[in-house]
Structure 1
Amino acid sequence: MTHNEISLQTKKKLATSLKKFMMSKSLNKITVTDIIKDCSVNRKTFYYHFQDIYDLLKWILEQEAVEVVKKYDLMVDYKEAILFVINYVENNAHILACAYDTLGREEMRRFLYQDFISVIETIIDNVEKELGLCIDKEFKHFLCNLYTESLAGILIEWFKNPQNQYKEQIVEYLSIIFRSSLPEILKNSPNKARANLV
């Protein structure tokens, strides 16, 4: 096995351990010592791969959700990508609830924001290219923030109160919003005309 394969295997082992502990303990009660004992590795091994438990949690979310979403053709598979994220949230509600209870709403929102901003940027870049436009960077940044903040808020609200909305309804609403509003927003962006004149 290569060094990268061994490293990935170790990270997965640490991740599995953290997820196991999150089933019975709040995140702030889980220690690095708990995880390294469970995995039969030393402290140095843990800190070689992760800065702290929150870094490990971020890696779990990135590997299990964000990296998978990035593999979708986001021009074609909006609905499938959104459904994957919603299913992930549903299937891992205990992990997210544990993280939420420890981090609080604002920190959890920031956590999700950092994970999904690159996905939203990719969607916006793809629509911009498809429309043959050159959009002002500041406006694109504003748009990325708007959509990512909205998505993070919706995901938090849904996993905290799943009985308030049906999964299919959320997927449908988000798909409609991305598919219909984004092209129109980009077509009407403030600096689009200037970009077309260049």
Structure 2
Amino acid sequence: MTHEESSLRTKQALCDALKECMRHKPFSKITISELIKECNINRKTFYYHFEDIYGLLKWMLEQETFEVVKQFDLLVDYKDAFNFVVDYVSENSYFLNCIYDSVGRDELKRFLYQDFIGIVKKIISDYAHDLNVEITEDFEDFLCNFYTEAVAGMLINLFQHPEKIDKAKMYDYFSVILMNSLPAVLLSQK
């Protein structure tokens, strides 16, 4: 086994341990000691891979969601990307709620903002390119913040109240907004 494979296995084991701990206690109460004991590794190994438990959490979310979504062609495959994210949020609502309860809405959004905004920026940039529209950096930043806030709020509502969300309807609404409002806004800048 290569060093890279071994490192990935260790990181994944830590992610699994973190998820399991979050089934039983708030995120803010989970310690590195618990995780390393569960994985049968030493503290040095944990710190070799992650700066702290937030680094582990961020890596886990990036690997399980953001890196996967970035592989989709978001203008062509946005339905698949959307369904992947919605399914992930629904299936993992227990640990997302645990994080939310421990750090709060603003901190969770701040924590994930760079990943969300990167994905939204790519969608906006791809649409602008396809529509042959040039937008100012200031307006692009505004649109990125606007749509990122909307997506983040929608996903938080989904994992907080999965029983109240009709995923098919949510997708239909998302499609209407994405396919109609964003191109219209961009074309208004011509």
The reply to whether residue 14 of structure 1 matches residue 4 of structure 2 is no
TM-score normalized by the length of structure 1: 0.92
- State the shift of 1:136 in Å: 0.8
Q: Does 1:106 align with 2:98?
A: no
In 1, the alpha carbon distance for the partners of 2:175 and 2:111 equals 23
Map of 2:132 onto structure 1: 132
Q: Percent identity?
A: 51
Q: Which amino acid aligns with 2:172?
A: E
Whether the 8 Å CA contact 1:36–1:46 is kept in 2: the answer is: yes
> What per-residue deviation string (whole Å, max 9, x for no partner) do you get for residues 90-115 of structure 1?
00001101001101111122223222
Superposed counterparts of 1:34-53, under 5 Å:
34-53=34-53
Shift of 1:5: 2.1
Aligned amino acid, residue 127 of structure 2: V
1:65 deviates by 0.7
Write out per-residue CA displacement over residues 16-60 of structure 1, whole angstroms, 9 at most, x where no aligned residue: 111111111111111000000111111111111111111111111
Q: Secondary structure at the match of 2:14?
A: helix
1:27 aligns with 2:27: yes
Aligned-pair distance for 1:4? Answer: 2.2
Which segments of 5 or more consecutive residues in structure 1 lack a partner in the other structure?
Answer: 193-198
SS of residue matched to 1:104: helix
Q: CA RMSD in A?
A: 1.2
What is the number of residues matched between the two proteins? 190
Shift of 1:120: 0.6
In 1, Cα distance between equivalents of 2:122 and 2:104: 28
Amino acid at match of 1:137: E
Stretch deviating more after TM superposition (132-141 or 31-40): 132-141
